[in-house]
A = this chain, B = another copy of it.
């Protein structure tokens, strides 16, 4: 336990959970009966009491200036009694009592460049991470790719024309802060070169045992470099996970020519229909090509298009692929199947095709 000077305020926790709730929600808390779709980005929850709450959802870049936040606040004052919220995918939602306010609010949002949508069978906001804006570990930027991809897919945000929800996530390194491992489409920054070892500073800034233990493949071995205790990396054993760098700043993996992106598909989180699934590798590597990453944008758009054309109603990406089989997925998308697609990690054997079930 810690002693604090008494006047300091600590450990108060977040504001009480009901502090910022709109009156209509306070009145009908836990009493919602059903909801109706009104338009893309707009839905209405009806309470047992008969009261109706209208939600208008708009896109957000997630990285927001106080200027924009104040503008959201002003919109809320104008249309939703000063009440708004953000979603688990970082969209902003205005909570309206008066249906008449929907249209004017939508107009103002859209006019200012904040599309309304992301509901039902649409593509919602891309869960993403810091990238070059704030993280030391990133193999790529986050916000820039998200912007480029969503520019290309924005119509799928403002319409609801997909077979099912389609969730895209991006993480800028294998730490996967975006938890992209269960997304319909995941964009993941990857390194392809072993860490460069900064022998001069390593002994000063890193704990050798921790560093050596950090490597899942045991590629890091102790080594004395001109007198100083340091380490070496057995390159053939390195799969570029970056865990060593996380525990030791003297092991950077960044490498402009070799860092890039990989694309993963077919994951989901919900228990709806099929159980939650991990995303699986679709494209092992695409180049890091700022400011608009055309290779990544095209790859994602292609997968979305093929899915939209072939999947059945209410079939998530992964459910569709499981129905048609992975060979067909690669065929339809024109994505090349490579040695990298074949798992060679812990449970690899269970991903081999262990039956004679084959489509020809």
Contacts and interface: CB of A to CB of B under 8 A. Distances in A.
Q: Give the secondary structure class of A's interface.
A: loop
A64 interface: no
A276 interface: yes
A161 to B, nearest CB: 28
Interface stretch (A48-56, A86-94, A149-157, A351-359): A351-359
A359 to B, nearest CB: 13
Nearest to A276: B355
Contact of A354 (B276, B346, B354, B355): B276
A275 to B, nearest CB: 4
Report the contact-size class of chain A (Cβ under 8 Å from the partner). Answer: 10 to 19
Contacts of A70: none
Contacts of A338: none
A39 B347 CA distance: 46
A340 to B, nearest CB: 22
Interface in A307-360: 346-347, 350, 354-357
A275 B354 contact: yes
A53 B150 CA distance: 68
Contacts of A355: 271, 275-276
Interface string A71-88: 000000000000000000
Nearest to A273: B357
A278 to B, nearest CB: 10
B356 A271 contact: yes
Contacts of A346: 346-347
Contacts of A357: 271, 275
Contacts of A356: 271
Contacts of A276: 354-355
Contacts of A347: 346-347, 350
Interface in A236-286: 271, 275-276
A275 B354 CA distance: 8
A350 B349 CA distance: 12
13 contacts: A271-B355, A271-B356, A271-B357, A275-B354, A275-B355, A275-B357, A276-B354, A276-B355, A346-B346, A346-B347, A347-B347, A347-B350, A350-B350
**Pairs A-B, 9 closest by C-beta atoms:** A275-B355, A271-B356, A347-B347, A271-B355, A276-B355, A275-B357, A271-B357, A347-B350, A275-B354
